[in-house]
Amino acid sequence: MGETVKLIGAFASAYGHRAEVALRLKGVQYELILEDLRNKSNLLLNHNPVHKLVPVLLHGGRSLSESLVILEYIDESFHGPPILPTDPYDRAMARFWAQFIDQKFGRFNFWIPFVQMEGNMREEFMKEAKENLGLLEGQLKGKRFFGGDAIGFLDIAACLIAHWLGVFEEVCGVTLASDEEFPALCEWRRSYVNDEAVKPCLPNRDELVAYYRERKEMIKAAGRQHK
Amino acid sequence: MADEVVLLDFWVSPFGQRCRIALAEKGVEYEYSEQRLAGEKSDLLLRSNPVHKKIPVLLHAGRPVCESLIILEYIDETWPESEKKSPRRLLPDDPYARARARFWADYVDKKLFDCQTRLWKLRAGEASHEQAKRDMVEVLETLEAELGEREFFGGEAFGYLDVVLVPFVAWFHAYEKLGGFAMAEICPRLVAWGERCKEKDSVAKTLTDPEKVYEFALYLKDKFGAK
């Protein structure tokens, strides 16, 4: 595999982070191209005409999008420590919970509705979010990582919880994942963000907070307009 | 008993039908367990899929696998060789081709199913329904372009993406009735591909009669549609 690897990501994108961590775990040399999502480049539009979203992985002359699809591709295409488990049932479980995280904590299903909600609906939404965190807490079952002793597919997918959730909490002035309620998940979160492969490619927390503070006002305004 | 396979399903579900087709392609014997759409869900379903409480669920030796695309991967990995004449995997061997198939499967679930739901749910004549029709045409044209001149999405052989998409062929008639357009004009190659797929036993014995599907869509419209 002498072909060059480039990754189109964006500063605040958890989905781009997923692909980058996978490349780092595999020890793949890559070039990171940071996209300005408010002014998308032709490179992005040409390589992901369907969704027009980051991340996009460019490998040789080929391109791929959708972060979980990219994770599987990286796992299958490069040597290095496996990202998915080997047993078919364990693989199915890792995929299931990764999909669960996108369904419950993805940008369109969590952050945007959460910012736009008020009053009782918001309370109800927070209650559900905590129940969902409880289900993930249950999946750790005394393990250091969801993948066992090392970071795997579900850990990478769960970066949304490890790094981004805390930023959302701070920006919105709420607490969802506390050490008292979710000790295993909070311990895992610390292990993840401090991991050698992960740490260098996590966006700076203060900068993320500033970024999402600005986004929050825009999303709120858009929500009001929609009503 | 140890290897017993049970599928919790609902007769007209395209997601359940995928699993049935994959199991038939692999020659796996299983028990079919029909679930109710409305009313109380069975204990077996609630126990097997406590997170989403939805069909399809594949129980293999008592262990549940949920979410149809994950079930397909599980089936493909657990029974890698079909018992039929040409043993082969549903997913292609090449990692890039696998990733492309997964990307388009995700597209079908995100876009095609969403448009299908909006076609029956929204009121004909309203702006939102007109938008749903335009979106559906775009999705069908996109899939038509992806198929191109190939015999199957899997190339020369019926594969993963064919299994993912083919249950929706039975809905084409309902799309025409609800959207007021002619499938043969929008996506003639996709229509011809659907006919080729139906020549396979696994598909022929699984797909619902299009008239029955349309009746079911009208039932959904009556019960859950916008009033």
Q: Report whether A96 contacts B67 (CB < 8 A).
A: yes
Is residue A6 less than 8 Å (CB to CB) from chain B?
A: no
In the numeric block, the tokens 């002793």 are attached to: A149
Q: Report whether B97 contacts A111 (CB < 8 A).
A: no
Is residue B143 less than 8 Å (CB to CB) from chain A?
A: no
pLDDT at A224 (0 to 100): 82
Is domain B95-223 in CATH 1.20.1050.10, yes or no?
Answer: yes
Does the beta-carbon distance from B103 to A64 stay under 8 Å? yes
- Across the A:B interface, residue pairs with CB atoms under 8 Å apart total 56
Region of A151 on the Ramachandran plot (φ > 0 left; ψ -120 to 50 alpha; else beta): beta
Question: Could you tell me what percent of chain A has a pLDDT over 90?
Answer: 85
Helix, strand, or coil (residue B201): helix
Helix, strand, or coil (residue A128): helix
Q: Closest Cα of chain B to A76: distance in Å?
A: 6
Q: What is the pLDDT of residues A157-180, one digit of tens each?
A: 999 999 999 999 999 999 999 999
Does the beta-carbon distance from B100 to A64 stay under 8 Å? yes
pLDDT at A141 (0 to 100): 87
The answer on pLDDT for A75 being more than 90 is: yes
Can you give the pLDDT of all 227 residues of chain B as single tens digits? 568 999 999 999 999 999 999 999 999 999 999 999 888 999 999 999 999 999 999 999 999 999 999 999 999 999 987 555 455 799 999 999 999 999 999 999 999 999 999 999 999 999 999 999 999 999 999 999 999 999 999 999 999 999 999 999 999 999 999 999 999 999 999 999 999 999 999 999 999 999 999 999 999 999 999 98
Interface predicted TM-score (ipTM) = 0.95
Is residue B138 less than 8 Å (CB to CB) from chain A?
A: no
Q: Report whether B33 contacts B41 (CB < 8 A).
A: no
Does the beta-carbon distance from B51 to A100 stay under 8 Å? yes
Q: Report whether A130 contacts A174 (CB < 8 A).
A: no
Nearest C-alpha in B relative to A98 = B70
Domains and CATH numbers, chain A: 5-77 (3.40.30.10), 88-225 (1.20.1050.10)
Residue boundaries of the structural domains of chain B? 5-78, 95-223
Q: Which fold has domain B5-78?
A: Glutaredoxin (3.40.30)
Q: What is the pLDDT of residues A102-143, one digit of tens each?
A: 999 998 889 888 888 888 999 999 999 999 999 999 999 889
Q: d(Cα A50, Cα A146) in Å, to the nearest integer?
A: 32
